[in-house]
Chains A and B, each alone.
Chain A
Amino acid sequence: MSLAILLAVIGAALTLLPLALGMPAPRGDSARRAGLVVAVATGVVAATTWSGSGGVVVAAIAAVAALLLHTLGATSRDARLWLGLAAVAVVVVVIGMVTGRGDVAFVASLVALALRVGVAPLHAGVFAIAERQPALLIELFGSALGAVVLHLRLIDGASVLARDVAVPVVVIGAAATLLGALLALAKTTLRGLWAASVGMHAGMLLAAVGAAGRGHDVAAVLVVVTLALGMAGFGFVVAALEARVGRVTLTGPGGRVRAFPTLTAAFAFFAAAGVGLPGTAGFIADDLLLHALWEEGPVAAAIVVVASATLAISLLRGYGAVFLGPPGPRTVARDLDGRERLVVAALVLALVVIGVLPMIVVGPASALSD
């Protein structure tokens, strides 16, 4: 039960996170967001606490609802297309469960997960959202938690298939991780860097989900929690900065640290947390993931380590290009306001608490897999 509450709270909070950016919202957005919170919480609670196929079906229906609500908030046709495809895949999950075809539901869930978190080569949607509507991607991290727990539940109904495809899924995940990290190395905009970082973490998540097919479920839960908190924090900082100075390129030196010291510190923290800074959830998530991957193939584990190191270098390069250097042009924009600081502090605390005391997630997640 505690895992359900924890994930539901994190999911709901991330769904509401874009509100702290203070951007003008279209009419009806409050109702959409309220529906999203309900769908996210319902999906997580049903997937984690309701045993039997009934819980899975309810969680899948909630996931479809969440994806449709995300689609309603999307401003680009690409976002609608890709989120719609993910919704269709989850509908197939529901049909598979209702008709007793666990294998079909498992495969459809894997595809839906890859579409919604942006695993290469199905990353076009997430990249488009990151580059055009960052607030929507932050929302999506909130509902991704439930999607992963739902997928872990589906493994029971397709245990043979899950075991058989574990290695190929891990290999695809590891390759997507490396691709994301290499793309990050060549990105020239801050949003692009964020999108590539998300792509890299999505690869890690797919690898973790693949390894979960052979019993490593806990790593997948911790990886998705880290992805959601770390990448949402990163995206929040990117959106907050661009709300002040417009589109940011990495051609630097940007020299923004004087004008935005707290934003700079927050960027550094979330970037570091995303690549496994000790004391944050990312460190322990990486550790668990690599041990899980090693058992499926040491090469995949090595690829993920190399990708993580490569992304770290890209992020430090981005940090230098955006914030360091001689002071940039004078700006009237202020550093993070009180509401934004509160959000940043809450995300920092969540990442640190889970990093220092990982058993608060690992314990209940182990119980779930038992």
Chain B
Amino acid sequence: MHDPIVPAMLVSAFGPGLAALVIGLWAVLSPRRPTEQTVSRVVGVGLALSLLGAVAAAGLYIGGHPAGEIHVGDWVRIGDYAVPIVFLVDGVTVAFGVLSAVTSALAARFSRTYLHKEAGYLRFFVLLALFATGAQLISFAGAFDLLFAGWELVGVSSALLIGFFHERQEPVRSSLRAFATYRACDVAFFIAIVAIHELLGTTRLSVLSTSASLPEWERALVAGLLLVAAFGKSAQLPFSSWLPRAMEGPTPSSALFYGAVSVHAGLYLLLRVWPLLDTVPVVEVIAAIVGVATAIYGGLVARVKTDAKGALAHATLAQTGLILAEIALGFSTVALVHIVGHALLRLWQYLRAPNTLHDAHHRGHAHHDEAWWQRLLPAPWSTRVFAAAMQRLRLDERLDAVVAPLFAVARALERGDRRLRAAVSLDEVERTDRSPR
């Protein structure tokens, strides 16, 4: 704890979360809700501390702080079993940490005026602060437990912000779909973490460098589970359909989550677990294929979308697909630079999205020539590709068809359970329920 980088990372990670807790308890305990100014100031202080901490950590690292793990303590210890609190210091960590802190602070500053007098102002800032804590935990974590805690916070805050404009049905539905995708993929992540702990004895990220000692099928299994987790978070095929729907949320959260940080979190995870992925060629090949397929899908759909945020969402998919392919091919540094550049560009583009009409009016309408590859396609193929892009490959319908049997089973079980309980019930209500009427 005498290492100065530790308090910097702790402040950066937990400053926004503490601000969220203060504002949340204030709202619950006080009969008068805190004003907009109070909310934005308290959360602003948390985010400013987070930024300062991240910049200080980066400064210390650049100034010669050695790369490596720092064991802060144990979250839980029972005999030999421990859930360690470990921070990781290296170029990737500080770059992603500073990126998250800067973009969170920018989005918060933008939102102060953008969401002025919005009914969910307090809710937005509390969720933004929770997100910032989650993002910093992901950035600095040197152990999977801590990383997963941040991962979950990002997921929950993300889903709740997609449903921010809850008086309309579509945002609520989109929120549920995004959350369901996240949770389905998080199942894979959680199982992978438990497996890593049991197979390698600890959840420290550094332990993956010894994963070559494991049998091949165990390595492939864990790597595959981590890949699924990353696909869900970064909206890679076949889990891409939640990202365009996530645009139902307020613009600043779209910019921060789906332009800058959250959508890159899965790719960041793959950078962190590269020592394991590198030992399983088949997983690398799958990642490369999925990355390229997502890039093609995103690029095609982006060209036919007629709304600004929808086009941006698919353009984001195209770039994240390319980054995934870069990681799979082993170009880690290129991927990191690509992540940072892409995140900053998209943050700016998403925040500008509400001004699209204004910008177009000033610039005049750009003339789009047909792309060279479009001329290569025969006309019937071109029409088919256009139609498929318009329908977004019917990804939603295909996923719905996959989960539909689960709901049918749930309904059948519920009916059976109700009948069974009615059969053993002594109360009048249940007797009436089971009567033929």
Chain A interfacial positions (CB closer than 8 Å to B): 76-78, 81, 121, 124, 127-128, 132, 179, 182-183, 185-187, 218, 253, 255, 257-258, 261-262, 265-266, 268, 272, 276-279, 283-284, 287-288, 290-291, 294-295, 298, 301-302, 305-306, 309, 312-313, 316-317, 320, 323-327, 338, 341-342, 344-345, 348-349, 352, 358-359, 362, 366
Candidates A288, A309, A362; contact of B187 at CB < 8 Å: A309
Chain A: minimal CB distance from B204 (Å):
15
Let me know if B379 is at the binding interface, CB within 8 A: no
- Is the Cβ of B78 less than 8 Å from the Cβ of A294? no
* Cβ contacts B132-156/A at 8 Å (1 or 0 each): 0010000000000100111011001
> A278-B149, A305-B190, A358-B75 known; A186 and B21 CB under 8 Å?
no
Chain B: minimal CB distance from A117 (Å):
16
- Is the Cβ of A295 less than 8 Å from the Cβ of B198? yes
**Cα(A268)–Cα(B163), bound, Å:** 13
Q: Which residue of A lies closest to B148 (CB)?
A: A278
**What would 18 A/B residue contacts be, using CB atoms closer than 8 Å?**
A77-B427, A121-B420, A182-B413, A182-B414, A185-B407, A185-B410, A186-B410, A277-B152, A287-B145, A290-B194, A291-B197, A305-B190, A313-B183, A323-B166, A325-B169, A348-B28, A359-B76, A362-B77
> A313-B183, A345-B29, A362-B76 known; A279 and B198 CB under 8 Å?
no
- B residues 381-429 near A (Cβ < 8 Å) are 406-407, 409-411, 413-414, 417, 420-421, 424-427, 429
**Cα(A358)–Cα(B77), bound, Å:** 9
- Is the Cβ of A262 less than 8 Å from the Cβ of B27? yes
> In the assembled complex, which residues on chain A have CB atoms less than 8 Å from the CB atom of B150?
278
Chain A: minimal CB distance from B387 (Å):
32
Q: Which residue of B lies closest to A217 (CB)?
A: B78
Chain B: minimal CB distance from A183 (Å):
5
- Is the Cβ of B430 less than 8 Å from the Cβ of A283? no
Chain B: minimal CB distance from A254 (Å):
10
**Cα(A179)–Cα(B421), bound, Å:** 15
- Is the Cβ of A265 less than 8 Å from the Cβ of B24? yes
**Cα(A277)–Cα(B153), bound, Å:** 7
**Cα(A336)–Cα(B195), bound, Å:** 43
Residue of B31, B172, B409, B420 ringed by the most chain A CB atoms within 10 A: B172
- Is the Cβ of A320 less than 8 Å from the Cβ of B76? no
- B residues 50-107 near A (Cβ < 8 Å) are 75-79, 81, 83
> In the assembled complex, which residues on chain B have CB atoms less than 8 Å from the CB atom of A128?
421, 425, 427, 430
Given contacts A182-B413, A290-B194, A291-B194, 18 further A-B contacts (CB under 8 A): A77-B426, A124-B421, A124-B424, A132-B429, A186-B407, A186-B414, A262-B28, A278-B152, A278-B153, A294-B194, A294-B195, A302-B187, A309-B184, A313-B183, A325-B166, A341-B28, A341-B29, A348-B24
- Is the Cβ of B414 less than 8 Å from the Cβ of A348? no
**Cα(A301)–Cα(B33), bound, Å:** 42
Q: Which residue of B lies closest to A359 (CB)?
A: B76
Let me know if B159 is at the binding interface, CB within 8 A: yes
- Is the Cβ of A186 less than 8 Å from the Cβ of B411? yes
**Cα(A316)–Cα(B413), bound, Å:** 21
Chain B interfacial positions (CB closer than 8 Å to A): 17, 21, 24-25, 27-29, 31, 33, 75-79, 81, 83, 119, 123, 134, 145, 148-150, 152-153, 156, 159-160, 163, 166-169, 172, 175-176, 179-180, 183-184, 186-187, 190-191, 194-195, 197-198, 406-407, 409-411, 413-414, 417, 420-421, 424-427, 429-430
- Is the Cβ of A183 less than 8 Å from the Cβ of B424? no
Q: Which residue of A lies closest to B25 (CB)?
A: A345
**Cα(A187)–Cα(B414), bound, Å:** 7
Query: For chain B, what secondary structure do more than half of its interface residues adopt (helix, strand, loop), or is it mixed?
Result: helix
**Cα(A326)–Cα(B410), bound, Å:** 28
> In the assembled complex, which residues on chain A have CB atoms less than 8 Å from the CB atom of B29?
341-342, 345
> In the assembled complex, which residues on chain A have CB atoms less than 8 Å from the CB atom of B191?
301-302, 305
- Is the Cβ of B27 less than 8 Å from the Cβ of A186? no
> In the assembled complex, which residues on chain B have CB atoms less than 8 Å from the CB atom of A338?
31
Residue of A278, A284, A287 ringed by the most chain B CB atoms within 10 A: A278
- Is the Cβ of B180 less than 8 Å from the Cβ of A313? yes
> In the assembled complex, which residues on chain A have CB atoms less than 8 Å from the CB atom of B190?
290, 305
> In the assembled complex, which residues on chain A have CB atoms less than 8 Å from the CB atom of B409?
182
> In the assembled complex, which residues on chain B have CB atoms less than 8 Å from the CB atom of A320?
163, 166, 172, 175-176
Q: Which residue of B lies closest to A185 (CB)?
A: B410
Q: Which residue of B lies closest to A337 (CB)?
A: B31
When A and B form their complex, which 4 residue pairs have the shortest distance between CB atoms, in order from nearest?
Answer: A278-B149, A186-B414, A324-B166, A185-B410
> In the assembled complex, which residues on chain B have CB atoms less than 8 Å from the CB atom of A279?
17, 149, 153
> In the assembled complex, which residues on chain B have CB atoms less than 8 Å from the CB atom of A324?
163, 166-167, 172
Chain B: minimal CB distance from A155 (Å):
16
Chain A: minimal CB distance from B190 (Å):
5
**Cα(A358)–Cα(B82), bound, Å:** 12
> In the assembled complex, which residues on chain A have CB atoms less than 8 Å from the CB atom of B175?
316, 320
**Cα(A360)–Cα(B75), bound, Å:** 11
- Is the Cβ of B187 less than 8 Å from the Cβ of A186? no
> In the assembled complex, which residues on chain A have CB atoms less than 8 Å from the CB atom of B186?
309
Chain B: minimal CB distance from A350 (Å):
13
Chain B: minimal CB distance from A71 (Å):
14
**Cα(A338)–Cα(B30), bound, Å:** 8
**Cα(A349)–Cα(B176), bound, Å:** 27
**Cα(A358)–Cα(B71), bound, Å:** 18
Residue of B17, B150, B190 ringed by the most chain A CB atoms within 10 A: B190
